Amino acid sequence: MAWDIEGTKRQIREAALVEFAQHGRDGTTIDRIAARAQVNRERVYRYFGDKAELFSVVIREEVDRLAEAVPLSISVPEDAGAFAGATFDYQLAHPDLARLVLWEGLTTSGPMVDEVARTEIYRTKTATMAAAQRAGLINDTFAPAHLVFLLISISCYWTAAPQVARMLTGDASHGAAERAARRRAVVQAGRLLATPPGSPVPEEPAQPGRQRVPAGTGRLAGETAVIAGASSVVGAAVAQGLAAEGATLALVDHRDGLLADLARGINESAPGTAHVYPADVTDAVSVRAVIDRIAQKHHGIGILINQAGSGTWNPVLTADLHDWHEARDAGLGAVLNVTHACLDHLVRAAQTGARGVADIVTINPGRSAAVGAFSQVLRKDLGERHVRAGVIECGSPVSELVTTEEGLLDPQDVADAVVYMLTRPRHVTVNELSIRPTD
């Protein structure tokens, strides 16, 4: 059996990340890293050289992930707030990075091993800020490099010095309200820093009901969500719910007219949020092409919402085999097609995205045992890669296929369940959620 060299390297890097973040480069040993990775210490030396080189590889990888997950684009002061908020989210999901940087500063004098390459990342951000200042779009009181540093600082110090944050504001580890308040402060401070003197500072508007949160904010801000079967009334309700949490939507279905109407309604209040991708989800080739287009355009996919259709079953004694296959394809087949096309993108998003996790949620109104079993397989195989898989077992919601509402769920009930699953903390997975009407 061939040795999985890349898998072993990944285990070593992950173990080293934990050790270096907790103890610093000089506070741990190759033996401890090897023990945590469950590999022979000689493999650490073979693949990464000495401890200093391994530390350099780990911190560079983490910095690259942050740069990819949170790019800087400035056209209005609100964008500075959005960047600060997205950086705050990423640091909250990946607290080891800030600790690595602090240890590096404490233990390293002079240039870093890969300082030239890492400096280029910051030069790119500084150039973006300088261009916005020259165009008169944002405050030019600060030097562009100083403004970038200030935005990074207000975003990261909450994670870098949690004890100071706790002494000032109390423990936020179990308090969603305090975490949200910290994020709002970061976003508003970013806007203040970027607003030209004498100009009104953009305020974060109130968010009643299902109104979409401002760009760059919301619990799912920065995430691209693929919603398969989006033209159904349930899919539309889910789309509205995810838009309200700040997600970018890729609406996938074969009924492009209904998709266009849905996207138009969402984009009236939040331009650029919803995007239409017509596709027959029972056609694996078509689905693959569309999913790849979505990932390329939106720089990844972090959320997948599946809907297991029930198809139309004719009496079994009169239906031919083709009818049976059509019913199967409308349910499990479509779920398999879309999930398979999205898998690589979801795994990548879990590694590099601001939330530190990706999600697959399958709505299963027919309570299909096959769909439930498939979700269990996904949980088992993808959990260690931080891709959460959950299924919502529900009775039939009101839809265009149902003529009476008696004893049925409202589509909004299902959408609320989806949002609940997606917005759990990174360490929480809701494997299965069962909802049904009370009456």
Query: Mean of the pLDDT values across residues 410-428?
Result: 89
pLDDT score at 216:
46
Banded model confidence at residue 413, pLDDT cuts 50, 70, 90? confident
Record the pTM.
0.52
pLDDT score at 194:
94
pLDDT score at 401:
39
What span, in angstroms and rounded, lies between the C-alpha atoms of 5 and 16? 16
Q: Which range is least confidently modeled, 216-220, 280-284, 339-343?
A: 216-220
Those residues whose C-beta lies under 8 Å from the C-beta of residue 374, and which sit 6 or more positions away, are 332, 335, 336, 339, 362
Those residues whose C-beta lies under 8 Å from the C-beta of residue 221, and which sit 6 or more positions away, are 82, 85, 86, 89, 213, 215, 245, 246, 247
Instruction: Write out the two tokens for 333.
Output: 């087949």
Q: Per-residue pLDDT for 398 more than 80?
A: no
pLDDT 10s digits, 3-57: 678 888 888 998 898 899 889 888 999 999 999 888 999 999 999 998 988 998 9
Banded model confidence at residue 210, pLDDT cuts 50, 70, 90? very low
The span from the first CA to the last CA of the chain, in angstroms, equals 58
What span, in angstroms and rounded, lies between the C-alpha atoms of 234 and 109? 58
What span, in angstroms and rounded, lies between the C-alpha atoms of 155 and 101? 14
What distance lies between CA 191 and its chain's CA centroid? Answer: 23
Query: What's the chain's Rg over C-alpha atoms?
Result: 24
What span, in angstroms and rounded, lies between the C-alpha atoms of 374 and 370? 6
Q: Per-residue pLDDT for 340 more than 70?
A: yes
CA nearest to 231, candidates 375, 9, 411: 411
What span, in angstroms and rounded, lies between the C-alpha atoms of 166 and 1? 51
Query: Mean of the pLDDT values across residues 240-246?
Result: 90
Per-position DSSP letters for 263-304, written without gaps between them:
HHHHHHHSTTSEEEEE--TT-HHHHHHHHHHHHHHHT---EE
Those residues whose C-beta lies under 8 Å from the C-beta of residue 3, and which sit 6 or more positions away, are none
pLDDT score at 214:
47
- Domains (range + CATH), the chain: 1-49 (1.10.10.60), 71-194 (1.10.357.10), 224-435 (3.40.50.720)
pLDDT more than 70, % of the chain: 85
Q: Which residues partner with 249 through β-bridges?
A: 225, 274
CA nearest to 62, candidates 32, 93, 37: 93
Per-position DSSP letters for 99-159, written without gaps between them:
HHHHHHHHH--SS-TTHHHHHHHHHHHHHHHHHHHHTTSS--SS-HHHHHHHHHHHHHHHH
SS3 389: strand
Query: Mean of the pLDDT values across residues 351-373?
Result: 84
What span, in angstroms and rounded, lies between the C-alpha atoms of 418 and 391? 9
pLDDT score at 1:
39
Q: Which range is least confidently modeled, 206-220, 316-330, 367-381?
A: 206-220
